[in-house]
Amino acid sequence: MQITVHGTPTQLSGKELSVGKEAPAARITKLDKTQNVIGMIAPTIQLIIVIPSLKTEVCSLGAKKFNDLVKQFKKLTTIMVTTDDLDFVKGYQESESIDSAEIVIDTERQFGKKYGVLISEGKLKDRLARAVFVIDREGVIAYKELVSEIVDEVNYDACVEAIQKILSEKKRGHEHENWMSV
């Protein structure tokens, strides 16, 4: 798998994931320095926004835009994943009032490898490619966008549309839970 960085083809390492497949569990670091796991099955739909660096204009703009867009969704867990340093991310979250999403750090690059978004060469080596994953309550990837050129923004409209579609679907549940409705 590869993307381009300012037009230069750049390899990504890790497993390529596709829509309809199970989302892997990945360990990340929260801003209080505790470890947590994201991905997999969860009580709410997860929107995972992968950000190369909040220090750049495109990434910062995207984080702020997503922060505003997700306010309309009450049953959504929004997580922004970056490889920026902890102190910078804490300051960024406070100064930019990111309050609708949790920003976490892929300190061990486990998320990047498991989701196939770790840049493996060039000047951005060990950073994450720009991507978005929407994971349904059953832990299945329902939407994915890997931005082909790192300086481009994601398709916000398509992402919001995917979230709305999943939120409007009735929870499947297990067959034995539906026996009274027959």
Per-residue pLDDT tens over the stretch 59-90:
999 999 999 999 999 889 999 999 999 999 99
Q: Residue 55, Cα to own-chain centre: how many angstroms?
A: 18
Q: What is the pLDDT of residues 88-105, one digit of tens each?
A: 999 999 999 999 999 999
Question: Is 0.95 topped by the overall pTM?
Answer: no
Question: Can you give the CATH number for the domain in which 20 is found?
Answer: 3.40.30.10
Is residue 176 a part of any domain in this protein? no
| The residue count for the chain | 182
pLDDT at 169: 81
Q: What is the Cα–Cα distance from 32 to 52, expressed in whole angstroms?
A: 21
pLDDT at 172: 56
Is residue 175 a part of any domain in this protein? no
User: Of 49, 51, 59, 69, which one is the catalytic site residue?
Assistant: 59
Domain that holds residue 119: 8-169
Question: Could you confirm whether 159 is annotated as catalytic?
Answer: no
88 CB-near residues (< 8 Å, 6+ apart): 54, 55
Is residue 179 a part of any domain in this protein? no
pLDDT at 178: 43
Buried b (16+ CB within 10 A) or exposed e, 65-101: ebbebbeebeebbbbbbbbbeeeebeebbeeeebeeb
pLDDT at 135: 96
Q: What angle do CA 101, 50, 61 make, to 5 degrees?
A: 70
Among all chains, which residue has been given the structure tokens 């497993």? 15
Is residue 181 a part of any domain in this protein? no
Is beta strand 131-135 parallel, antiparallel or unpaired with respect to 8-13?
unpaired
Is residue 30 a part of any domain in this protein? yes
Please list the ranges in the chain whose pLDDT falls under 50: 174-182
Is residue 174 a part of any domain in this protein? no
Is residue 41 a part of any domain in this protein? yes
The total of structural domains in the chain comes to: 1
Is residue 3 a part of any domain in this protein? no
